[in-house]
Amino acid sequence: MKNKGYTQVYTGNGKGKTTAAIGISIRALGAGFKVLFVQFVKGQKYSEHKALEKFDNLTVKQFGREGFIHSKPVAEDVEQAQKGYNFVLNAFKNDNYDVVVLDEANIAVYFKLFSDDDLIKLIDAKPKNCELIITGRYATQKIIDKADLVTEMKDVKHYYTKGINARIGIEK
């Protein structure tokens, strides 16, 4: 595929972090690359899952409960995140993927499901030619410093503030 894969981080309070990762994944899939899309703290199915499951060279794995964590995580949240962490570590050892997305990994760190030092260990464990994409608000300074590319999504204006719920096909 390529000689060197980089680590990209999409963070911030604005909308579009997961969407950016999906866009990069689709571009990679179109180029014939093999993609692993791992979602932490997400267990529910979204519209993008229906679209993504049409690709043969894509694996989507979720490691989270049905509901998103809004306050203190429960034991199941920690267990799911640890399972996901180990799954990714194994995937890196097997070197089966060209692009790996760790969706909401920064949120997993924020809720202390694993540490930013653990996430850095994953960055260090990625195969040399694998592109790694990490999403989620609250990226720590350690993760920002370790990454090759960091984009911060800034929340300037959003219709959620006017009571508009997430819409199927647009936000979910």
- Of residues 165 and 94, more confidence is placed in 94
Higher local confidence (pLDDT), 48 or 153? 153
- pLDDT beyond 60 at 33: yes
What is the share, in percent, of the chain residues with pLDDT greater than 70?
96
pLDDT of residue 2: 67
Q: Of the candidates 25, 12, 51, which has an alpha carbon nearest to the alpha carbon of residue 133?
A: 25
- The band of 65, judged by pLDDT with boundaries at 50, 70 and 90, is confident
Does the structure show a pLDDT above 80 at 163?
A: yes
Whether residue 138 is predicted with pLDDT greater than 80 in this model: the reply is yes
Number of domains in the chain: 1
In a domain, 171, yes or no: no
Q: What per-residue confidence (pLDDT) applies to 71?
A: 75
Q: Is residue 129 part of a domain?
A: yes
Domain-located, residue 1:
no
> What pLDDT score was predicted for residue 94?
95
User: Which residue in the block uniquely carries the two structure tokens 């049905």?
Assistant: 66
CATH number for 146: 3.40.50.300
Query: What is the value of pTM for the model shown?
Result: 0.92
Q: State yes or no: pLDDT of 165 exceeds 90.
A: no
- 57, 52, 54: which is closest to 39 by C-alpha? 52
Q: Does any domain span residue 107?
A: yes
Torsion of CA 41, 47, 53, 57, to 10 degrees: -70
Which tokens is 81 given?
């995140």
What's the whole-number mean pLDDT along residues 11-30?
95
Residue 150 DSSP one-character state: E
Task: Name the token pair of 141.
Answer: 């300074």
Residue listed under structure tokens 């899309």: 37
Give me the chain's average pLDDT, please. Answer: 92
Percent of the chain at pLDDT > 90 equals 72
Q: Residue 38 domain-assigned?
A: yes
- Is 2 inside a domain boundary? no
Domain range for 87: 7-162
Element (H, E) at 135: strand 131-135
Query: pLDDT value at position 48?
Result: 81
